[in-house]
Structure 1
Amino acid sequence: MLLNISTTHTPATDLSFLLHKHPDKLQSVDLSSGKAHIFYPEANQERCAACLLLDINPIELVKNSRNNNNDFALAHYVNDRPYVASSFMSVAISKAFSTALNGKCSKRPELVDQVMPFQVTISVLPAPKGGEFLIRKLFEPLGYDVNLERYQLDSTFPEWGESKYYTLQLSGKFKLKDLLSHLYVLIPSLDNNKHYWISQSEVEKLLQKGEGWLGNHPEKEQITKRYLKGIGGLTRNALDRLLDGDGDENSPEAEESNPEVDEVKETLHQQRLRQTFQELKISGAKSVVDLGCGEGKLLKMLLKEKQFERILGMDVSYRTLEKAVERLHYDEMPPKQKERINLIQGALTYRDKRLDGFDAAAIIEVIEHLDLNRLKAFERVIFQFSKPKVVVLTTPNKEYNQLFETMALDSFRHADHRFEWTRKEFRDWAENAANANGYQVEIKSVGEEDKNVGAPSQMAIFKLNNHE
């Protein structure tokens, strides 16, 4: 992948002083999985262009990969990582142009705050969700003129359609340190497969590189969430700090309007977890099984509540259960705490006596991953054999999908979904399942409701007849 930054500032070679890289030398820096090369295809008084070329080693990529849970068996070897501007490009910018990114220039310090005309070309940039619309929403509010060229999957087979890859051209007048900080943050915000571990240190990098512009960006919430890979705690922390720092409290505008800072919105998944937890607590259950427990977010909440004396988490993915063990710090738990919880591997479409005898079951965003012809087997496992006194189940509301700007018509929210139900379809299924198995059911909404299409998720609370 290639990043080209050029200017027609006079003299244009001032760019080389800012980048701290001599135009007559080819220079390289080491990356975790390859090298980044810096060179100048053009450097004169009228125009100067600097290129950052990434040479990613596919073998090192596999050795250093953190993603061991891809459904595609050859994903380590068949992917776009060596060829696109991704999180590797962001790291390369910070290593190759660190002095410019940090606003330093020892030989010509006056250039740091010099606004110059820049043209930037990135070949190629992936935008798997949102495409051109998303790229424009990220760059145009910062003052860039954006030009995009999208590529076909294969020109030999035009019926395959267009790919998710673009060549991006940006132009505008900026300080170089600001331009680099924009690229440092926004390129990985478009990358869903970051090569590094997302932790609190990434929050600090985001806030540092976003200082002075991210807090005022109209898409700051989306940028923050995407940069931090949607990790709720880190995203909330970053947005809280961004909102606290918005604007100048002593400015005349602030005194005149005194706007109230909006609270950071709870993510939809957090709302599902919280609402499910509340329903389980209200039920009076002392033993709970989380079916399709994932990485253990609900389990962690249940452990903090003394009411729940026996907790079981089950998931079909062994790797996901390993992540749950890490999230729960299971190996470091005190013995008394460890006695309360257990994790097992299993499927929801086969009878499993380990699921018997629980007061309550939580099934959060799971059934839509089952084939429709397996739903009857699922119903028998839960409502006939395991037969918990209370079942709290959630699933997406298909009608709400039309409000998601980046979703194509008739597509699903997740590639692994086998179906998604309208509110009527869900209610009909829930009532039929309840009536057939001696349960009563109550339907509730999860998330902010739209008057026309309802809430993004829907919840069914099944209660066994004659159970208080």
Structure 2
Amino acid sequence: MLLTLTTTHRPATDLGYLLVKHPDRVHSFDLPAGTAHVLYPEAGEERCTAALLLDVDPQRLRSGRADAFTLGQYVNDRPYAASSMLAGALNHVFRSALRGRSKDRPELAAEPLPLEIRVPVLRGNPELTARLFEPLGWSVSATPIPLDDVPAGHPLSGDSPYVDLTLTGTQRVADALNHLYVLLPVLDDAKHYWVAPDEIDKLLRSGEGWLSAHPEKVLITRRYLAHRKSLATTALELLDRSDPDTVDAPADTSADEEAELPVVRKRSLAEQRRDAVLAALHEVGAAKVLDLGCGGGALLTALLADRRFREITGVDVSSRALEMAARRLRLERLPDRQRERVKLWQSALTYRDDRLRGYDAAVLMEVIEHLDPPRLPALEASVFGHAKPDVVIVTTPNAEYNVHYEGLSGMRHSDHRFEWTRREFARWAASVATARGYTVDIRGVGDESATDGPPTQMAVFRRG
């Protein structure tokens, strides 16, 4: 099986430094499934291609196989179609590159480069392949491979279950390799080895920075962990915790390890919080909504799915967050009518911005705790004083509830500047409402503790 990675970054041969493989040599590695070779079909100043060729040994694959017929140990697609064996080879031969390390070009390892990746034979269908790679910023060409030597009209004529995959985009090499390491076995929907609990750590490490916000994270997690119910449940909970501002109590994973999916899990606090915000927006009849501090677009996705919201605007100070939101929303693929409902603007919430005026509602979902307390008056003046939407919805963690998170010391996220108790939040909300001409209603989100209240607290401000 074959995978090629090409760049047109100049000098293109710097790819050798990032992969830690010299372009003038053929590098070979002995693996449990066969032999992996890294070579460079082309290596010039303007274009360089590294190829990973995995020569699978059928004799080595016999160990542990339980095919229904003896020849199935030899007659199968494992030597040819990209699978978890190719992902394992990636991890073995490009280990430093996967970690984003380069002794000779450390600054280049952190830089997005123009890349093209080709996997000529990959088990999967074009639609799912696009759903997995496009949210990560790749342009995807997944061409079905037709069956050979089958006359038209024959029951077996048509396309095979394989695609010829080409990915193009501007990515860090480390990110590109980690996307492949996770998603190749997901598309194949099989692992060539027994999946143990340590696979959760591999998934979280390789998915850091992108998997928690991926719209297909549940499908990816289940398939990557070979449909092991308790492993998938644990991994999904940990992914929710890795998402900023989201910490959930552990779910019971004592159920049968091999039970059929779908995995039944408690709705995460992030999901409950989004639902509470949507319910409040419906309650006040908002049609034009601002998502202030929208991040990667989790709330924007839910707003777009509801046609009652005619105009949706996501605002964030981070251009990278807005790029992630655009990918998550698949803006480039939306029909014009849908696309016209959505705007993404870069703006700092502590400065006045005339574009933010005239909206029915503004949402600050898990935003205020990321500001230094001395900057809060500037946000209040910008949002409540200048933009002045009819309704402002604010959610923030309840610090009193933190005692219910085992192993949590300090605040729920490393970027939080503060976390308020219920009394502190109510005092702040009442002060803002009085000063800015709003009324306010305080609510809880999530499973409440009789003594410590809910994990999230929400304020709904109404102007006048």
Shorter-normalised TM range: 0.5 to 0.7
Conserved? CA contact 1:350–1:381, under 8 Å? yes
Equivalent residues in 2 for 1:364-379 (5 A)? Answer: 364-379=365-380
Q: Report how far residue 320 of structure 1 moved.
A: 1.2
Quick one: distance in 2 between partners of 1:366 and 1:227? 20
Q: SS at 2:424's partner residue?
A: helix
Quick one: distance in 2 between partners of 1:205 and 1:350? 40
Q: SS at 1:182's partner residue?
A: coil
Change (3 A) 1:33 1:377: farther
Change (3 A) 1:421 1:191: same
Per the alignment, residue 294 of structure 1 pairs with: 295
Q: Gaps spanning 5+ residues in structure 1: where?
A: 1-17, 22-26, 38-51, 69-75, 82-86, 103-176, 232-238, 249-260
Conserved? CA contact 1:192–1:229, under 8 Å? no
Conserved? CA contact 1:184–1:209, under 8 Å? no
Q: Indicate whether 1:221 and 2:233 are aligned.
A: yes
Per the alignment, residue 422 of structure 2 pairs with: 423
Q: SS at 2:272's partner residue?
A: helix
Conserved? CA contact 2:240–2:268, under 8 Å? no
Per the alignment, residue 191 of structure 1 pairs with: 205
Describe the superposition over 1:198-255 as per-residue Cα deviations: whole angstroms up to 9, x where unpaired: 879986775466458x33x4x6522244479978xxxxxxx9xx9899549xxxxxxx
Amino acid at match of 2:418: F
Change (3 A) 1:292 1:200: closer
Quick one: distance in 2 between partners of 1:438 and 1:208? 52
Q: Which moved more, 1:181-190 or 1:290-299?
A: 181-190
Conserved? CA contact 1:36–1:55, under 8 Å? no
Quick one: distance in 2 between partners of 1:324 and 1:195? 13
Describe the superposition over 1:159-196 as per-residue Cα deviations: whole angstroms up to 9, x where unpaired: xxxxxxxxxxxxxxxxxx43xx2277233145275498
Change (3 A) 1:349 1:339: same
Change (3 A) 1:184 1:278: same
Q: Report how far residue 395 of structure 1 moved.
A: 0.6
Q: Report how far residue 306 of structure 1 moved.
A: 3.1
Per the alignment, residue 15 of structure 1 pairs with: none
Quick one: distance in 1 between partners of 2:385 and 2:216? 48
Quick one: distance in 2 between partners of 1:195 and 1:290? 21
Per the alignment, residue 452 of structure 1 pairs with: 451
Amino acid at match of 1:56: S
Change (3 A) 1:334 1:386: same
Q: SS at 2:205's partner residue?
A: coil
Change (3 A) 1:372 1:304: same
Quick one: distance in 1 between partners of 2:215 and 2:359? 37
Instruction: Count how many residue pairs are aligned between Structure 1 and Structure 2.
Output: 313
Per the alignment, residue 264 of structure 1 pairs with: 265
Quick one: distance in 2 between partners of 1:446 and 1:189? 30
Describe the superposition over 1:295-326 as per-residue Cα deviations: whole angstroms up to 9, x where unpaired: 22222322333332222211111111122222
Q: SS at 2:273's partner residue?
A: helix
Quick one: distance in 2 between partners of 1:205 and 1:357? 40
Equivalent residues in 2 for 1:297-376 (5 A)? Answer: 297-376=298-377
Per the alignment, residue 412 of structure 2 pairs with: 413
Quick one: distance in 1 between partners of 2:352 and 2:276? 28
Equivalent residues in 2 for 1:10-49 (5 A)? Answer: 19=32, 30=38
Change (3 A) 1:228 1:464: closer
Quick one: distance in 2 between partners of 1:460 and 1:328? 27
Q: Report how far residue 393 of structure 1 moved.
A: 0.7
Q: SS at 2:196's partner residue?
A: helix
TM-score under structure 2 normalisation? 0.56
Q: Indicate whether 1:182 and 2:196 are aligned.
A: yes
Per the alignment, residue 431 of structure 2 pairs with: 432
Amino acid at match of 1:427: A
Equivalent residues in 2 for 1:30-429 (5 A)? Answer: 30=38, 56-57=96-97, 58=102, 59=105, 61-62=109-110, 91=181, 102=192, 177-178=193-194, 181-182=195-196, 185-189=199-203, 191=205, 194=208, 207=222, 210-211=225-226, 214-215=228-229, 217=230, 220-226=232-238, 246-247=258-259, 263-408=264-409, 411-429=410-428
TM-score under structure 1 normalisation? 0.55
Q: Gaps spanning 5+ residues in structure 2: where?
A: 1-30, 40-48, 55-91, 116-135, 138-171, 244-250
Change (3 A) 1:382 1:297: same
Q: SS at 1:462's partner residue?
A: strand
Amino acid at match of 1:269: A
Amino acid at match of 2:344: L
